[in-house]
Structure 1
Amino acid sequence: MTEQPIPASPVEADLEFMKALQDKGPQKPPRSQWRDVWDQFRKHKGALFGGSFLIFITLAVIFGPYIWDIDAKKLDIRNKDWRPIYTLLWDGDAKAGWIHPFGTDQLGRDILAQMLFGGRVSMAVGWMAMALALLIGTAIGVLSGFFKRMDFWLMRFTDLILSLPILPLVLLAVTLFGQPLRAQFGPEGGMFILIVSVISLTSWMQTARIVRGDILALKEREFILAARSIGTTPGKIIRRHLLPNVISPIMVSATLGLATAIITESALSFLGVGFPSDFPTWGKQLADAVDRMQEFPERVMLPGIAISLTVLAVNYLGDGLRDALDPRIRGR
């Protein structure tokens, strides 16, 4: 006859339960989503370089003119055509010194001061145009994706803008509206408003298409259907449920928009349709240096390197953000 196991007493059962709890040890707190994003982001060495360099160049152009306080517009013909300080490494008789470490141009203007001041203008245009383009693109993308009746017309309008040649359109807008804005807000302020507006109004389309695609997928999810079923207004659904879930693609699009805005502003200044001729920007420095490029190649190289490194840093930052914010890649 098989013996039946004797059931444990309540005291013994409690002791076994307490022992099981002790064996499990302390529970780890749950990890936040943004901690996972940061862990994935810092694995991307290019993104770390891009973010660090973007912070560095932004701080340099903001505070640099206060530290290196030479007037970027000051003409000094007696000190024209100085060479960069590193030229002394192979030419001891070169006209160079620490008073002008990057040299001077044909009018005696300090190139380092011009790069710092011009970088402030280029970065300001880039950040402002990017922010405005994101605002427009996000608004159109959300409206098009959420409201079915508006989708067709908004997307056809987006396709129309995408089909237009951007650079001729920008040149036409600067030609038509440049003079009235300069007369109203001054030569520098008017052109700043015009260039920011033109760049943002011609670069929001990619953001709109990306946001629309995400909204179309999100609005069929269970939590959106549940919010609709209890009578939540469309405005609250967009603000509380949809916009927080499209932050990731918007952040990636922001980096691409910043790079595009910097390149476009530099191209306009290089073509001579941007800021006034005595107002230094990176693109204007390139334009001024072309005529004497063979004799003074550093005048093209220095602003060109600044533009290239800034755009490269922004692109690397965008790649890192895309990988970190994508849950399919973040889980690897």
Structure 2
Amino acid sequence: MKNIGIITSGGDSPGMNAAIRSIVKTAYYYRINCFGILFGFKGLINGNIINLCTIDVKNIINRGGTILKTARSKEFETKEGRKKAYKNFKKKKLDGLIIIGGNGTLTGAKIFEEEYNIPIIGIPGTIDNDIYGSDCTIGYDTALNTVIVAIDKIRDTATSHNRLFFIEVMGRESGFIALNSGIATGALNIMLPEKNYNINNLFKSIDKGNKEGKSSSIIIVSEDKKIQKAYSLAKITKKKYPNYEIRVSILGHIQRGGNPTCFDRVLASKLGFFSVKSLIDGKYGFIVGSKENKISYTLLKEFNKKKNKIDEELIKISKILFF
């Protein structure tokens, strides 16, 4: 293992830079050359590959986003596109790849590995926390804390004006951010994609709050195809409660930005180190994650057959705390 390429692809997440730094520094320690592939798989197809030295990763551990940039590539989804990517992989004399990203990115890594038998290690980097094989993904903790800060501020104005706020958070098809932020901020209700959606349960929560004298409330809505978007829910609720002042806040991409938390920096540093060590030891075709605070390895070909599950105990706790 002499030359390693690093890719960050798909949606960015806070902590990706910390992982890049860890990979480069670990590779340097073991006298391995590092190459950064710009703009994800698109960059591998177009040959946008640069040398990475330790000086290039100086002072990036605290920065959000990714210095390698990221993009989604429709071309990489085709055999022709992956063939171009492989030619550039060979042209640069790379011996292995470390690919950081979410579900779509790691699925692409899995296909690429299967087609060309390339030594690949995946690192789960996504705010959604939906990658099987790791209790937490890089960026999730930072995004969760960003959401909590935003909701706390919204609650101040909700209380001042006696308003009901619907706050939509990211998560794709997973309710990790919604559930944990809802409990942490004392939300009236949480709409999760993992649970059957019932508007009547929402109305029961509002009625219960009324009886207890609540004059303002926060309802967390997780983005998902199964759940009506926050604006739709607000509209339905307004018809039921015409005297309510109802507002909607879509937190959006603010959740992906910002300086990574200590947790994400440490997690990214650990996963970066062990990804390089795995390639050196000839152990590849895996996602390197963290389970019960220990490094874990999940086969790339197996990771998307299962999904991280939200804590059922937390759901029970949230239902009690609603009332």
Q: Could you state the TM-score of these two structures normalised by the residue count of structure 1?
A: 0.25
Say which structure is richer in strand.
2
| Higher helix proportion | 1
TM-score using structure 2 length: 0.26
